[in-house]
Structure 1
Amino acid sequence: MKFVLVFSAIIAGAFANEWRLHNNCPFTVWPGILGNPGKGNPEGGGFALGQGQTHTYQTAGDWAGRVWGRTNCNGGGHCETGDCGNKIQCQGAGGVPPVSLAEFTLNGAGNQDFYDVSLVDGYNLPLRITPIAGTYRKTGGGKYDCNVAGCNADLNARCPAELAMKNSGGSTIACMSACMKFNTDEYCCRGSHSTPQTCKSKDWPKDYPAIFKGACPDAYSYAYDDTSSTYTCHGNPQTGYEITFCP
C-alpha cells in the first residue's frame, strides 16, 4: 500500500505544472486567479504578495484560466483595481476591469500550451510571463515559441485622459480599454464587427488599440489581435511559468 501511494504521488507530480508568481513592484500586489469552468481556482483564487516576494504553487497539466494583479486592497478585501468582490481569495470571481491579464490554456491543441498577456480588458499593472528554464522544449516556432510574453510599459503614465481611471487623489491607477469606455460594436468587436475581417482600425473613431500596441507590442490590444500576441510552448514534460508583476 505504501508503494502504491508513493507511486501515485510521483505520477500526479509528473503531470503538474509549476507556477511562480513574483512581485517586483515597490508595493504589495494581490494576485487574482480564475480557472475556466471545471478547471479549478488555485490557492483559493488569490492571496497577498509583498514587495520582492515569490509565491509558488502547482496545477493540473490541463489547467486553463487567467491571473491578474490587484492593487491597494484593504482589510475588508476591497481592492482599488482588479477587485473580485471584496475578498482576498476570489473563489471563482473575476477581476473588475480595467486590469492586465495573463491568460493560459495548458495542453491544448497539438498538446501544447497557449499563453498571452491581454490588455483587451484594459491595463492596471505591467506584467510578464516567462516559461521556466528546463521545463519546456522549443520546436522551431520562432518568436512565439516558448518565449517571454508581456507588457513592461507603464501605460498609466501615457493613458489618454478619456480612458484614465483615477483614485480619490487624482492619480491614474488604471487605463480603460476603448470597449470598456465607449461600449460600441466597433471597439468591442461585436455585431457587424464580430469577425477578424470586420473589426478593423478603419472603423474606429480613434485608434486607441494602437496606443496600447505601441507601448506593449507583445500583448493583446483588442479582441482579434491574435497573430502578434499568442505564444505557444511544449512541456518537457510540463512547462512551468513565472508571472512577474512590474518586471
Structure 2
Amino acid sequence: MESLFFFVAAVVLFWGPAPAIAATAFTFHNKCRYTVWPATLSGNTATRLGGGGFELRPNATASFSAPPSWSGRFWARTGCSFDPTGTAPGHCDTGDCGGALLCSVGGAPPVTLAEFTLAGPSTGDKDFYDVSLVDGYNVGIGVRPASGGQRGDNRCQYTGCVADVNKRCPTELRVAGAAGHTVACRSACEAFGASEYCCTGAHGSPASCGPSRYSQVFKSACPAAYSYAYDDATSTFTCASGTQGYRITFCPTAGDRI
C-alpha cells in the first residue's frame, strides 16, 4: 500500500493535478411551430438552470451552463398562460409544474423528459443522459452532444424522439386539449396504475417487469428513448468528461441527428 501511495504521488508530481472539469453548456432550440416553455429541475444541487423555466418562441434558442456533477431534467410545457404580474398561478396544458413559470417541482405527466447526470467523481468522469417516455409523451425532444464529446465513443451520440407519438397514441392513453385534438400520450402506468406497467410491487425488478404492448408503441416510435422503467440497454448514453455541451431540440427532425 505504501509503494502504491508513493507511485501515485510521483505521477501527480510529474503530470500535475488532473484538469478541472469545465462547466457544460446546454443550448435549447425550439423547432416546434408554437411557443414552448422549457422547464428545468435540478436533482442534486441548488443550481436552477434558466431560473427553473422560461419562454421559448418558435425557432428561438437559449443557452445556460451547468457546473460539474450537475444532475437534473428538462422538459417542454405547452399551451401555457402566466399572469404577467406574477400574483396569480398560471397553467399549462402539458408539463405544468404547479402553475409556476419557474419550476421547483417536476412536470405533471404525461411529459417527455431529457435527463442528465454530468461528469464527476461518482460517474467515472462521464456524462450520462437519456430521453425518457416513462412519464408519457407531450413533445418530441432530441439531444445531440457537441462534437468535442465524440472521440470515438459509440455511446456518445444523438438520442431522442423524432416521431410524433401523439399521432400514434392508443385511444385509451390520449389526452385531449381544449380544441379536442391530442396534446399528449399517457404512459400505461399513469393510465391504469397496474404494477406490471409501473414496475412496482411484485414487478419491481428487471426480471419481473418487461416491455408491455403499450411501451412497445413508444419504443417503435422512438427506439433510442426509454419506453418503460427498465429499458436501460438501448436508452442510456454516455460521453467522456470534456464534452463541450449538448443541444436540446424540441420538435426535432431527422436532420437533427447529424
Say yes or no: TM over 0.5.
Answer: yes
Kept after mapping to 2: 8 A contact 1:64/1:104: yes
The one-character-per-residue Cα deviations of 1:176-202 (angstroms, maximum 9, x if unpaired) are 00000000111000111111000024x
Matched-pair contact (CA < 8 Å) for 1:233–1:239: no
Alignment of 1:177 onto 2:187:
yes
CA distance in 2, matches of 1:167, 1:56: 30
* 1:24 paired residue among 22, 31, 35: 31
Q: For 1:16 and 1:31, how far apart are their aligned partners in 2?
A: 20
Q: Distance in 2 between matches of 1:239 and 1:212?
A: 30
Conserved? CA contact 1:179–1:187, under 8 Å: yes
In structure 2, the residue corresponding to 1:157 is in which secondary structure?
helix
Query: Displacement of 1:44 after TM fit?
Result: 1.2
Aligned to 1:127: 141
Q: Which runs of 5+ in 2 are unaligned?
A: 1-18, 84-89, 253-258
**Distance across 1 between alignment mates of 2:174 and 2:115:** 23
Query: Aligned partners of 1:183, 1:100: CA distance in 2, in Å?
Result: 19
Q: CA deviation at 1:169?
A: 1.8
Matched, 1:99 2:135: no
Question: What do the CA deviations read for 1:118-164 (whole angstroms, capped 9, x no partner)?
Answer: 00000000100000123x243x443xx21001000000011000000
| Whole-angstrom CA distance in 2 between matches of 1:38 and 1:110 | 19
Shift, 1:43, TM fit: 1.5
SS of the aligned residue for 1:217 comes to: coil
Give the Cα separation in 2 of the matches to 1:119 and 1:36. Answer: 18
Aligned partner of 2:203 in structure 1 is 193
CA distance in 1, matches of 2:215, 2:193: 14
Task: Report the 3-state secondary structure (helix = DSSP H, G, I; strand = E; otherwise coil) of the residue aligned with 1:174.
Answer: strand
Contact 1:104/1:114 (8 A) holds in 2: yes
Match of 2:230 in 1: 224
Secondary structure of 1:124's aligned partner: coil
Question: Does residue 83 of the first structure (1) align with residue 89 of the second (2)?
Answer: no
| Paired letter, 2:175 | M
1:244 and 2:244 aligned: no
Question: Does structure 2 retain, via aligned residues, the 8 Å contact 1:98–1:123?
Answer: yes
> What is the Cα deviation at residue 40 of structure 1?
2.4
TM-score computed with the length of structure 2 as normaliser: 0.84
| Shift in CA distance, 137/159, structure 1 to aligned 2, threshold 3 Å | closer
RMSD of aligned residue pairs (Cα, Å): 1.6
SS of structure 2 residue aligned to 1:180: helix
Counterpart in 1 of 2:170? 160
Paired residue type of 1:167 = G
**Normalising by structure 1, what TM-score?**
0.87
> Aligned partner of 1:36: which letter?
G
May I ask how many residue pairs the two structures share in their alignment?
226
CA distance in 2, matches of 1:60, 1:126: 26
Q: Runs of 5+ in structure 1 lacking a partner?
A: 1-10
Instruction: Determine the structure 1 residue equivalent to 2:44.
Output: 37
| TM superposition outliers: structure 1 runs of 4+ over 4 Å | none
CA deviations over 1:26-52 (Å, ceiling 9, x no partner) = 110100000103352211110000100
